[in-house]
A = this chain, B = another copy of it.
């Protein structure tokens, strides 16, 4: 172990040279190691503890434990990746990259000497906590450890029941946040992305960096309003409204935490670290901070910086002293989720111009390039999430997510979430409505088929059984006939549905254009679509309606906000990066940008940009 460290390779050692964990195993590569064992020439012979460890791990022939084997002569040693303290984890971002595994929480196994024995020198028994800390300090390079009173309360019986054999979880090299009986090297973290509509949790193994389980649930706050504004009103106006909103989302998180750990065969108490992203409003609700300032100009958040808060203080049913880390926010409507996205995107400001779009009720736009990092948010309304659309619904079972219209016959085929095949016009499906990506498809296809004009009006010259007038005098187009649906009534798209999409897309388009103009560009080199909505979008339909300034490289990057939170879980330096990114990023308020309303009005027109000829790299999910 010393030789490795001298050569600059830090080894794992959970157990502090007790031959318990085997984390520091190394392979003897040269020198006829079988002979070395017997001749005791180049490596010290195995002591009993080491022999016992290998007798239980017969697959490790040729290995030694670096904590016990001493170098006695020339020897060539191979240090496997998983014995190294700093591991590099493959990371799927825009391209495959690596991130060093450097979590804020680490585990240490210690055997605290039998009570009383160590106190002799100082005439009197040392206290439980001081004995523990002294043992950790002796074994590992840690000092000045503290612990809160919850840890202190649990300590005495733990030490007595285990005869001093415990595994200690240390946060930030300075605080003991958990003590578990015996040797227990499971070290789990959870990354949480709290969205207005849904909440996602990713359970990560902090020993090898793998994501063990993921779960998504609807944000239970939805019953106080689908959109942020109604929830803000509720929080401000209803007596105890804010507490109610906080409690309900925390309850939701507790359910999610118990599901995600159960999925991987663990329990919430096994979690040692939590990283949370969310838009500024969700962030405030989680923390019980009033959203009042977010609801009116000049749109002030209560706090922007990153926060470390004990999970118990939030009401999370985890081990009581564990911390939850909240990523910082940029501005009232550019939240910690956007910071997560930026982190996951690892923008190279000096390279190409990249536009990242995270769509939802609130669209977040990030532009990197020309040495700058800019962001803004635009109000899209709930149309992209199926809200305020006559047949709209969220992207769950029964939602039409893809639509094709034959430009000649105006016949429609569609695909429903969870079903791989297209409808055939006859067969009954479980279609119940249309989700965001389906609506964008519909509008794009109606435009291509000439059913609607670029200004959104229905072409009154077209005659088709699918196109009809309602009693209210509006036009509707039938996407699915009653017999094809699970509702037994037609699923249609109306004038006002098209109008809702026009407003939403104009906001995104104009926002992106304003950002691009700030760096002297009209088009980005690359567009990244973040979020689950981005993954299901049809990129050609996006181009057809002109959702964003067109470009020929468009990638869906999945839940980038959640990935940013995961990065902060795996590597503590990412937290500093997030915090410095917040300092660096330039935030634009679109309402203050003179050009915005002009571009917005122009962008109301559908199909402003034609699909580009090249489709190189078109829709990929990296």
A residues sitting closer than 8 Å to B (CB atoms) are 115-116, 119, 122-131, 148-149, 152-153, 155-157, 160, 287-290, 292-293, 297-305, 307, 309, 313, 329, 331-332, 586-589, 592
Contacts and interface: CB of A to CB of B under 8 A. Distances in A.
Contact of A300 (B126, B157, B587, B588): B126
B288 A128 contact: no
Contacts of A116: 297-298, 300
11 contacts: A115-B298, A124-B331, A124-B588, A125-B299, A125-B300, A127-B302, A128-B300, A149-B288, A149-B289, A149-B307, A157-B290
Contacts of A302: 127-129, 152-153, 155-156
Contacts of A115: 293, 298, 300
| Copies of this chain, whole number | 2
A124 B376 CA distance: 10
A152 B289 contact: yes
A303 B123 contact: no
Nearest to A148: B309
A295 B126 CA distance: 14
B304 A126 contact: yes
Contacts of A124: 298-299, 331-332, 587-589
A128 B587 contact: no
Contacts of A290: 153, 156-157
A130 B301 CA distance: 9
Contacts of A148: 309
A298 B119 contact: yes
A304 B125 contact: no
Contacts of A309: 148-149
A288 B155 CA distance: 12
Give the interface centre of A129, A130, A300, A332 by most chain B CB atoms within 10 Å.
A300
Contact of A289 (B153, B292, B298, B301): B153
Given A149-B289, A309-B149, A313-B149, A303 B128 contact: yes
Contacts of A292: 156-157, 160
A126 B589 CA distance: 12
A160 B130 CA distance: 47
Contacts of A157: 290, 292
Contacts of A592: 123
A339 to B, nearest CB: 14
Give the interface centre of A125, A127, A297 by most chain B CB atoms within 10 Å.
A127
A130 B332 contact: no
A434 to B, nearest CB: 35
A338 to B, nearest CB: 13
A373 B202 CA distance: 56
Given A288-B153, A289-B156, A290-B153, A303 B130 contact: yes
Contacts of A300: 115-116, 125-128, 131, 156
A148 B287 CA distance: 10
A149 B131 CA distance: 33
A160 B296 CA distance: 13
Nearest to A589: B124
Ranked 5 nearest A-B pairs via Cβ? A116-B298, A125-B298, A127-B301, A129-B303, A127-B304
B588 A129 contact: no
Contact of A303 (B127, B160, B298, B305): B127
Given A126-B300, A152-B302, A156-B300, 7 more contacts: A123-B589, A124-B298, A125-B331, A128-B301, A129-B305, A156-B292, A156-B293
A576 to B, nearest CB: 14
